Structure 1
Amino acid sequence: MSKDKNPRRVADNEAMAKTRMLRTSPQKLNLVAAMIRGKKVEKALQDLTFSKKRISDDVRKCLQSAIANAENNHNLDVDELVVAEAYVGKNMTMKRGRPRARGRFGRIIKPFSELTIKVRQNEEQA
């Protein structure tokens, strides 16, 4: 008398990690996400470690989380993992303001983003 188990959102040879409320614009975050798409996870981690972008530390944490999910939850081999997808979405925006001349009000918009990373285990061709 229980509900059916939810089906997996990713394939059997994939694992996923999602980070929400990253304090940067989606456009800036997408530059870092594009840097790791399609790469092996070791190379992607190296690129993120030595990147000069501020948000690259948070992207590296999300990638490490996806690797840990693949290893612990789905029993995938870490050495064969590739970043299959890395995509960015909008999140909330904080609205702030600053007084301007002649009684006007200048809006300051502080955007937040979310990041989703999927890693896939490549099957060896025999």
Structure 2
Amino acid sequence: MDGRAVNRFVRISARKARIVADLVRGKRVDQALMILKLTPKKASPLLTKAILSATANARVAGGAETRVENSGFIVSEVRIDEGPTMKRIRPRAQGRAYRILKRTSHIQVTVSSDQ
């Protein structure tokens, strides 16, 4: 059974989130959660939330007979896609203006049972 969770329009750059996603891809869920707990990055709690949601979705999809612990699931896929970019203006000297890009991303996590 597979579980999938999508977290869209997250205010983090996709490039920075992919660094953390590469740490947990292919790991067991309990290992992935421990790695994320000890990783001091902004993307860590966002990925933790998505992995826990995907695990819960897999349990619900499996029905009442699904009593699998977190160690029974594997983080099979983590996709970090770019979302829309909010553009802001920063005033500079002599009437100039610099553009600030506030990037967003879409996080998609799929967990599957290793049975």
Q: Quick check: TM above 0.5?
A: yes
SS in 2 for 1:97: strand
The one of 29, 34, 43 equivalent to 2:17 is 29
Give the C-alpha shift of residue 74 in structure 1.
2.3
Give the C-alpha shift of residue 107 in structure 1.
0.2
SS in 1 for 2:47: helix
* Superposition pairs of residues 54-69 of structure 1, within 5 angstroms: 54-69=42-57
Say if 2:100 is the partner of 1:99: no
Letter in 2 for 1:57: P
In 1, Cα distance between the equivalents of 2:27 and 2:14? Answer: 21
Segments of 5+ residues of structure 2 without an aligned counterpart are: none
Worse-matched range after superposition: 29-38 or 68-77: 68-77
The one of 34, 44, 60 equivalent to 1:72 is 60
- Structure 1 residues 47-84: Cα deviation after superposition (integer angstroms, max 9, x where no partner): 11111002211110111000111112224533321000
RMSD across aligned positions (CA) = 1.2
Say if 2:8 is the partner of 1:20: yes
- Structure 1 residues 15-73: Cα deviation after superposition (integer angstroms, max 9, x where no partner): 10010111110000001111100000000011111110022111101110001111122
Segments of 5+ residues of structure 1 without an aligned counterpart are: 1-12
Say if 2:113 is the partner of 1:121: yes
Give the C-alpha shift of residue 101 in structure 1.
2.0
SS in 1 for 2:88: strand
Give the C-alpha shift of residue 111 in structure 1.
0.3
Conserved 8 A contact 1:15-1:74: no
In 1, Cα distance between the equivalents of 2:110 and 2:43? Answer: 18
SS in 2 for 1:73: helix
% identity of equivalent residues? 35
Say if 2:78 is the partner of 1:90: no
Letter in 1 for 2:31: K
The one of 3, 24, 29 equivalent to 1:41 is 29
SS in 2 for 1:109: strand
Q: Which has the higher helix share?
A: 2
Q: Alignment length, in residue pairs?
A: 111
